[in-house]
């Protein structure tokens, strides 16, 4: 009889979905006999609640980041997170949600958003399903809300061993904490030709290549002051600016390229070849989102972090700075001072790469798979 694995995420930004997709693709490749269902919890929630929660989240992140940080910190305790978890779980559960989960009746659930962990924990308690549970924390700090299913969990996957002490303080059984790293497994080819790929984008390969993620649908316009300065200064580097689905951001950067005749800058919209772009880049400029930073770590590409909105992103940039994997900037003038320095001297970037090479989190997906299969067997 086929074993059933449910993967849950919530589409607040793209990070939770990206990790869920990586897990689904890897597991299917390892064992095609596994029956896997991946669902966006927002899609099955009451529409007005899902839409409203997304709008509130985006508003706080973009317009009121201090407020976002305050809320993040306020609910990062056992009591306040318990209240918030019960409230949100009751908001999101409905007949449609219950039906899709109970009809599938998973043997194991892997949750990449805390809503999923809380929901599966509740459905287990009520006897609707009997699913084992693994929570994959998709940032480099486990907020208390991630831990609401911990009484019934078989494993909590975290980004680093430093998180063990933090979770034990929050009441988590140390036996279930697995500091594997955030699991991703991009599709790559062993015969990938870097030089050929660089030429495809019109670059010679003689200059450092900066891969600039422009923030996508959340925060794309916040990147404009930084890329404008880079274009205006005509730095000794080639730049690939990825705007994602933010057409307004792409159009503005295209206009800047034309205004300054910046032949060293290429713009892209939504892409599905991030692994290729990361392989040809020397370093990355991006917001410190969990999935984005982990992809940089996987490919050993130093990350220059901008537009940090506090909360989990603060924890992410602190982790990368503490380990020497990247550097965070709050202001364009300090950012540009650093850009000018590395455009002519790669020693700082090389040091970051060496630090990244010591990290073995690229094995996280393999470890998650083995843990999942062990749980299913027992």
For each of the chain's 378 residues, which pLDDT tens digit applies? 789 999 999 877 678 899 999 999 999 999 999 999 999 988 877 666 666 666 666 666 666 667 666 766 666 666 566 666 666 666 666 788 899 999 999 999 999 998 899 889 889 988 999 999 999 999 998 877 777 655 668 999 999 998 999 888 888 889 999 999 999 999 887 788 999 999 999 999 899 999 999 866 555 678 899 999 999 999 999 999 999 888 899 999 999 999 999 999 999 998 989 999 999 999 999 999 899 999 999 999 999 999 887 778 889 999 999 999 999 999 999 999 999 999 989 899 999 999 999 998 889 999 999 999 999 998
For the chain, list the domains and their CATH numbers: 4-183 (3.40.50), 194-361 (3.40.50.2000)
SS3 content of the chain, % helix, strand, coil (to 5): 55, 15, 35
* Phi–psi pair at 375, nearest 5 degrees: -65, -40
Interatomic CA distance for residues 77 and 72, integer angstroms: 10
Q: Taking the CA of residue 243 as centre, how many other CA atoms within 13 Å lie in the half-sphere pointing to its CB? A: 18
CA 169 to chain CA mean position, Å: 25
31: left (phi over 0), alpha (psi -120 to 50) or beta: beta
Amino acid 61: pLDDT = 63
Amino acid 12: pLDDT = 76
Interatomic CA distance for residues 368 and 364, integer angstroms: 6
Amino acid 164: pLDDT = 92
Amino acid 57: pLDDT = 66
CA angle at 275 for the pair 271 and 281, rounded to the nearest 5°: 95
Instruction: Write the DSSP string, 22-52.
Output: HHHHHHHHH-TTSEEEEEEHHHHS-HHHHHH
Interatomic CA distance for residues 312 and 247, integer angstroms: 27
- Long-range pairs, 126-133, Cβ under 8 A, ≥24: 128/98, 128/101, 128/102, 129/101, 129/102, 129/105, 131/6, 131/105, 131/106, 131/107, 132/107, 132/108, 132/375, 132/376, 133/108, 133/109
Interatomic CA distance for residues 207 and 202, integer angstroms: 12
Amino acid 263: pLDDT = 94
Interatomic CA distance for residues 53 and 88, integer angstroms: 10
**Among candidate residues 151, 208, 157, 160, the one with its CA nearest the CA of residue 178:** 157
Confirm if 241 and 214 have CB atoms less than 8 A apart: yes
Q: pTM here? A: 0.89
Q: Tell the residue number behind the tokens 């989960």, with chain if given.
A: 101
Amino acid 243: pLDDT = 92
Interatomic CA distance for residues 105 and 322, integer angstroms: 42
Amino acid 147: pLDDT = 77
Helix (H) or strand (E) holding 328: strand 326-328
């Amino acid at each position: 009889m086929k074993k059933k694995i449910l993967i849950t995420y919530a589409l607040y930004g793209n990070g939770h979905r990206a990790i869920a997709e990586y897990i689904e693709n890897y597991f299917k490749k390892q064992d095609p006999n596994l029956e896997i269902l991946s669902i966006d919890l927002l899609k099955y929630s009451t529409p007005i609640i899902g839409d409203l929660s997304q709008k509130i989240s985006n508003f706080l992140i973009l317009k009121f980041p201090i407020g976002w940080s305050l809320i993040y910190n306020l609910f990062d305790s056992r009591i306040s997170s318990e209240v918030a978890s019960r409230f949100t779980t009751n908001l999101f559960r409905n007949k449609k949600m219950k039906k899709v989960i109970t009809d599938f009746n998973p043997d194991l659930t892997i949750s990449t958003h805390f809503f999923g962990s809380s929901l599966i924990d509740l459905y287990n308690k009520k006897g609707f399903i009997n699913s084992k549970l693994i929570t994959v924390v998709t940032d480099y700090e486990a907020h208390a809300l991630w831990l609401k299913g911990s009484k019934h969990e078989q494993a909590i996957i975290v980004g680093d061993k430093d998180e063990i002490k933090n979770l034990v303080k929050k009441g988590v059984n140390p036996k279930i904490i697995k500091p594997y790293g955030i699991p991703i497994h991009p599709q790559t080819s062993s015969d990938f030709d870097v030089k050929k790929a660089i030429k495809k984008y019109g670059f010679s390969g003689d200059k450092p290549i900066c891969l600039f993620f422009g923030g996508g649908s959340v925060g794309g316009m916040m990147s404009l002051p930084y890329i404008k300065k880079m274009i205006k200064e005509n730095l000794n580097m080639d730049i690939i600016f990825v705007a994602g689905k933010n057409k307004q951001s792409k159009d503005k950067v295209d206009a800047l390229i034309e205004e300054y005749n910046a032949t060293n800058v290429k713009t892209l919209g939504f892409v599905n070849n991030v692994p290729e772009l990361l392989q040809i880049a020397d370093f990355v400029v991006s917001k410190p989102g969990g999935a984005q930073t982990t992809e940089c770590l996987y490919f050993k590409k130093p990350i220059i972090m901008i537009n940090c909105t506090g909360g989990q992103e603060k924890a992410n940039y602190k982790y990368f700075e503490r380990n020497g994997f990247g550097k965070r900037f709050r202001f364009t003038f300090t950012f540009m001072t650093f850009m000018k320095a590395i455009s002519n001297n790669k020693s700082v970037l090389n040091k970051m790469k060496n630090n990244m090479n010591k990290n073995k989190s690229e094995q996280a997906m393999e470890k998650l798979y083995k843990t999942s299969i062990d749980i299913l067997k027992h």
